[in-house]
Structure 1
C-alpha cells in the first residue's frame, strides 16, 4: 500500500480554496506536461500554473492529476521539468492510488486506501490466468517490466497487427477480463510519452478502481456534481474520465485512437488547451 511522502523542498502545493465548488481532473503525461518541453510549451504550462494559483480561491477549484504513471515517476518528471506546484491530489497508477497534497506532504487519501485494502487481493493470480488463457487462444501479450513494488496494476503490450484482427483480439481481452472480474484498460500507446510504436497498453487492475471511479469518488467526497467538473486527457485510457464529467476535453495533441472515439477535441495542445478551456468558462 502507498506511504506518506514528506514535503518536497523544491515544489510546493497549490493553495487550497476555502470552499470547493469545482473539480478539475487532468491526465499528466502529454496532457498537463509536454515531455518535449519546448519554450512555447513551458510558457503555456507556467501560464496555467499562474491561473490555477490565482483562480483557485475565486472559483473554488480543486485540481488534480489522474495518471497511469506511478507516484515516483510523476514526482521525478515534475522536478526535471521545473514545475512550480503540485496539484491538490494525484491519482496515480491508473487511479489505483490516491494521494492528497498539502504543506504537510503527500498523504494517501484514507477512504481510498481503506477501499483498496478490500479489493484486488487476487489480482496477480487472475492476471496470470488471463494471460495464459489469452495466449492459448492466439492473443499474444508481452509483459511490461516497469511495475512498481506493490502496484495494483499489471500491464502488458499487445502489438497491433491489422485493424480487423486487432478489433477481435481486443474484444476477447475485454471478455476475458470481465469473466474473471478484472478491470482492464485498453488504449493505444503514445510514443510521445515513451511508449513503443504500434501497440496497445493492456492493463489489468481491480474492477472497482480506475480513472472513472476516481472522478466519482472525488466528486462525492467534496460534494461537487460531476456535471460541474472538468477533465482533460490525450489518450484512450482517459476517455472514461472525460465521459464521467460535464466538461471533458481531449487536448489537440491527442492520439488518433482517442480522437476517433471522442468528439470534443481542443484546437490547442497540452497545458494551453487546459488553460483556454478553464479561462473560457471560469475567467
Structure 2
C-alpha cells in the first residue's frame, strides 16, 4: 500500500471519520464514493497547502486496515483508531505510536481490570449490555450495545457513575444501522478519561503547534461532535445519520468522499 508523503512543514490537518464518512458500508457504493478523486486532490494539497490527512474512527486498527484494503490507494498520514483511544503515525510501512500518547493513558488509571469490575457492578444493577463485535474493541476501549428501554436515562446515569469510580469515561451514542449496527440501541463505550475523538485533535494541536482554524473535520454521526467542537471547520457528509443532521446544521450536499473533496476545494 502506498503512503502519502509529508509536507516540509505541517500547517493544516484534515480529519475524517471512517465508516459511512470516508468509507461506505455497502461495497456497491465504492465506485461512486469519490475516493480516487479525493486521494488525487490530497496528493496535490499536501504540497500546495502543507496539510496532512488522517482517520479518527471507532473501528480498531486491524479492522480499519482490513476494511479499506481494496478501497484506497494511499494510507493516511495518521490513524486514530478505537474511538480515538489509539494513535499511530503512518511512516515507512509502520504504525508508530507516540510515546507521549502511551504515557498519558498509563497515567489515567484506565485498565481492562477496572472495566471488568465496572461491568460486573452494572450487571448486578440489572442493566444488560451486549458485547459488540471484535472490530469495535480496542486496547483501550470496550464497547457494548444497550437496547433501548423505558428507564434509559436512569440506566445511563448509573453506568456513568460506576464507570467514574473505576477510572473510565463512558460514551453513549445512538447506533447507526446503515453502518451495520442493530436497530433501537446505543453504543456504550468505556475508554480512558484522556481519550476520545476530540482529544485526538487536542493532541495534534499541541504536538504540531496549530490552532482550531487549522483543522478540517468530517463525520456522519453524533459521535463525531467532540471532534467537530475542536475543529475550526467541521461538516457532516450528505449521507449522515438523520439524528446527527437534526443536531448539527453544517451538512454537505454530497455523500462520502465526493462531499469531502468538494468542501476542501471550496475552503482551501
Please say whether Structure 1 and Structure 2 have the same fold, judged by a TM-score greater than 0.5: yes
Deviation, 1:177, is: 2.7
- Structure 1, unpaired ranges of 5+: 1-10
> Which of 48, 55, 65 is the aligned partner of 1:75?
65
- Structure 2, unpaired ranges of 5+: none
Q: 1:261 to 1:43 in 2, by over 3 A?
A: closer
Please show how residues 145-224 of structure 1 align to structure 2 within 5 Å. Answer: 145-146=133-134, 151-162=139-150, 165-224=151-210
Aligned CA RMSD, in angstroms, stands at 2.2
Cα deviation 1:53-73 (Å, max 9, x = unaligned): 111111111111011111111
CA distance in structure 1 between the partners assigned to 2:63 and 2:98 by the alignment: 19
What TM-score comes out, normalization by structure 1 length?
0.86
Q: 1:40 to 1:181 in 2, by over 3 A?
A: closer
Is the CA contact (8 Å cut-off) linking 1:68 and 1:93 kept in structure 2? yes
CA distance in structure 2 between the partners assigned to 1:161 and 1:207 by the alignment: 27
Look up the match of 2:94: 105
Is the CA contact (8 Å cut-off) linking 1:189 and 1:196 kept in structure 2? yes
How many pairs were matched up?
268
CA distance in structure 2 between the partners assigned to 1:246 and 1:41 by the alignment: 30
Q: Residue 239 in 1 paired to residue 228 in 2?
A: no
What TM-score comes out, normalization by structure 2 length?
0.91
CA distance in structure 2 between the partners assigned to 1:174 and 1:211 by the alignment: 19
Look up the match of 1:127: 115
CA distance in structure 2 between the partners assigned to 1:150 and 1:234 by the alignment: 21
Is the CA contact (8 Å cut-off) linking 2:63 and 2:135 kept in structure 1? no
Deviation, 1:117, is: 3.3
> Which of 103, 108, 122 is the aligned partner of 1:114?
103
Q: Residue 18 in 1 paired to residue 4 in 2?
A: no
Is the CA contact (8 Å cut-off) linking 2:10 and 2:51 kept in structure 1? yes
Q: 1:260 to 1:249 in 2, by over 3 A?
A: same
Is the CA contact (8 Å cut-off) linking 2:82 and 2:136 kept in structure 1? no
Is the CA contact (8 Å cut-off) linking 2:205 and 2:211 kept in structure 1? yes
